[in-house]
Structure formats: C-alpha cells, structure tokens
Amino acid sequence: MTQFPSTILTEIQGYRQTLAMLLLYGSSVQDEVGQAFAALLEAVAGQSTTESLRAYSGWFQALAMAQETWSSYLQRRMAYADNPFTQQVQHHGLAGIAPALGQAARHDLALLEHLHGLTSQQVAEWIQVVGGLDQPPVAWETDPAPLPFVFAADRPWPDQLEDLVAHYQRQGVGLLAQYQVFTWQDGDLRGVAHPDPVRLDSLTAYDHPHQQLRQNTLALLRGYPALNVLLYGSRGSGKSSLVKALVNEHGPQGLRLIEAPKPALTALPQIVDRLRHAPQKFIVFVDDLSFEEDDEAFKSLKVVLEGSVTARPQNVVVYATSNRRHLVREYFSDRPRPSDQDEVQPWDTVQEKLSFSDRFGLTLTFEPADQPTYLAIVQHLAQQAHLALPPEELTARALQWATRHNGRSGRTARQFIDWITAELGTPSP
C-alpha cells in the first residue's frame, strides 16, 4: 500500500461528503454509474491498491456502458431527476412550492457542480498514486449524446435554478422526460430505449387519413380538444407506422406514446389516471384491436373512451388500429330469433357491439392498395433507399413480388425494397 499525500486524501473525503450531503438529488446518482463512483471513492480513501484498481475498472466500465462522460452523466441525471422538488415545480413553479424545497435545490446544485468539476484524468491520477503505477490508467472519454439540459459555463449552477425549473415544466421529469415511447408491463410503465425509428417522410399514399391524424395530434399538442381515433383498414397499409412516426416527429415537443397490449387494456383507467397531471401529451396506442364477447378489456376501454364520474384528462387520447370495422365480434347466433327467451331486448345487445367503434370521435379508413397506390409507395421507398434500378425493372419486379408474396400493401412494398436493397448491396457468390 502506498501512502497517499494528505492533500489527495482530503480531496477524496470532500467528494465523499458531497455525495452524502445531497438532500434531493441523491437518488439520481444511485444507479450503476453513481454506485461505481461511490465505491471508487471508498476504495481509494482506504488506499488499497487491489480494491482501488478493481473499483476504477468498475467505474470505467459503467461510464462506457452508459456512453457518458462523468460531466454529461451528472447533467443528464439532473435533467431527468424525479424527486419532490422536480415533481412540484413542474406544475407550480418556484413561487408555488415551499421555500425550503427551493433552498434545498440550490444547495444540491452547488454540490453537484463541485462533483461535475472532477475530471476522469484526475481520477486516473489518483489510481496511479495509490497503485504505484508508472503512468495513470486510461481515462474514459467519449462524445455523449446531446443533453436535454446544459448548464451555462459562465454562471454558478445555483444561479441557473430558474432555467432548470423551466426545463422541468417544459419536458417533465423522471421516465416521462427520459423516453418518448413506453409499454405497460407488470403494472408499470417501461421506457423503450430503441423505438421504431419510422419517420413521416418515409410514408406515402393515404394522404387524407394522414392529414386528419396529424391535425388531431397537433390539436392535442397545442392544448385544444383532441379526439380518440380508430384507424381501420387492410393489413399492411401503414396504420401503426403512422402513429409511431407522429411520436418520432413531435417527441421533442412533449408528445409521448404508451403502447397498451391487449392484456394491459384492463389497466387502461389506471394508466390514464397516472398521466393526468403530467405536462406532456400522450397517445395511448392499442394495436390490432378486437374483442370477444364479455371481454373485460372491452369494458375498460369503454370507460376511457366515454369517461366516467372522473373527468377525462385533456392530455391523453387513444389511437387504436384494427382490421375490423366492428371491433366486437358478432356471430349469427347473436342475432335475436322469435324463440329467444333469454333477453327481453336482444337487439340492444347487438347494437352495443356494433356501435362500439362509434365511441371513437374519429374513424380513419385505409382502403386496400390498388396497383397505382402500391407502385407509388414502391417508388417513394426506392428513392429514399437510392436504388439504382431502371423504373421499368423496378415496376415489373415490384408487381411480381406482390403476386408471389403478400399482395399489394405498404408493408409488402417495404419488404420488397428491403430485399432489393440487400440484393444490390450483396456481392454475387
């Protein structure tokens, strides 16, 4: 064990104390990177060569896995922080919260700015000393992803609290700020780290339903009344892709998508209630929707669409896709006969099933793609893929592909272009 200079020991003890003194933001640095940093400080303070080298390796790997520098890590964690201060200021601002919360936030900002000043090279030099190494180990550096909030370098962090509060009010806090797409699993929201990247400019044809859905979504974003929407039509016509593309387009403006699979529909009232007070706007997305008789999910979705004694939140809409115009299956046996004695008004039951789709404020129809529409989609995708194929050959092969595979649709066009792209980019054997 090498004896540390007292100045370095004092410095390390100062950083350990800084972490311990955080009043509000301590939970933000309790993930893998933060825990690895705390373990590193403890190991170096103990001046154990083996433990310090092992702890430095753990911190290095944690930053590398997160693709963050120590500086970007701290600022990103603060931007997404979920604590009593961030929860309250996103709705009420600094003037509407207890003064002690604002004081605690400024206190923590000063401490985090001190931690932010620590460099990877400085930590590597600690390890060189404690390990008696000829040179410091490799210091982790990278070019991180853009930060959602960046502190100005010319002012102390506590003096920028109002700017940070404005960020929370605009982008929200916690998971809802960190991700744009979510699924509902095991009774909770789960952020989707790698959502479908489809963009609006990759979609063509079906101009009217596209325009109608975009208009409704912009109304939601601007705080105007927005309708629940049923996207009905043939398979492969791009209904789901359109919804996902809208979120990719408007995510930076606060649009979020919650995908609710069929088993999660019974939790829809719970999901919607959780989103009610968030500053973002939400699309609850139900893909390939249909119901069987006496389906509990049917009743839950009715509550969300029609409301109950609880007011419908203005920041949430339901977008559902279906290949069926009438979402609840109806059988010939459901239709009343004069001999039926089980129900006094059997036609009422039939009408309830058939009218369920009418509970959506807007129904958009995606007709099956005819040949000109299919070829227009193929040509659009071919241009985006920069395919060097004569137009006549592209058309002939696209029609042949549709005949041999899944028929004419946007999905078939995408599969054809993917196949041709790989074919042209793959050397012949």
Domain that holds residue 138: 6-173
Which pLDDT does position 325 carry in this prediction?
A: 53
What CATH number is attached to the domain comprising 188?
3.40.50.300
Nearest in space to 165 (alpha carbons), one of 107, 277, 88, 72: 88
Q: Do residues 161 and 220 share a domain?
A: no
Which pLDDT does position 99 carry in this prediction?
A: 96
Q: Do residues 225 and 154 share a domain?
A: no
Q: Do residues 256 and 389 share a domain?
A: no
The count of structural domains within the chain is 3
Quick: pLDDT tens for 183-229.
988 888 999 999 999 999 888 888 899 999 999 999 999 999 999 99
Rounded to the nearest 10°, the torsion over CA 115, 119, 123, 129 is -120
Which pLDDT does position 237 carry in this prediction?
A: 83
Is residue 89 one of the residues assigned to a domain? Answer: yes
β-sheet bridge partners, residue 320: 230, 286
Q: Do residues 169 and 219 share a domain?
A: no
Write the single-letter amino acid at 237: S
Which pLDDT does position 342 carry in this prediction?
A: 55
Q: Do residues 28 and 49 share a domain?
A: yes
**In the chain, which stretches have pLDDT less than 50?**
1, 327, 330-332, 334-335, 340-341, 344-354, 428-429
Last residue of a domain, one of 366, 381, 407: 366
Distance CA 379, CA 387 (A): 10
Q: Do residues 244 and 349 share a domain?
A: yes
The overall pTM is greater than 0.85: no
Instruction: Annotate 401-425 with DSSP letters as a single string.
Output: HHHHTT-SSHHHHHHHHHHHHHHHH
Is residue 1 one of the residues assigned to a domain? Answer: no
CA distance to 295, 299, 316, 322, 358, per residue, from 229 (Å)? 21, 17, 12, 11, 10
Q: Do residues 311 and 223 share a domain?
A: yes
β-sheet bridge partners, residue 183: 190, 259
Q: Do residues 10 and 25 share a domain?
A: yes
Which pLDDT does position 349 carry in this prediction?
A: 47
Last residue of a domain, one of 173, 193, 222: 173
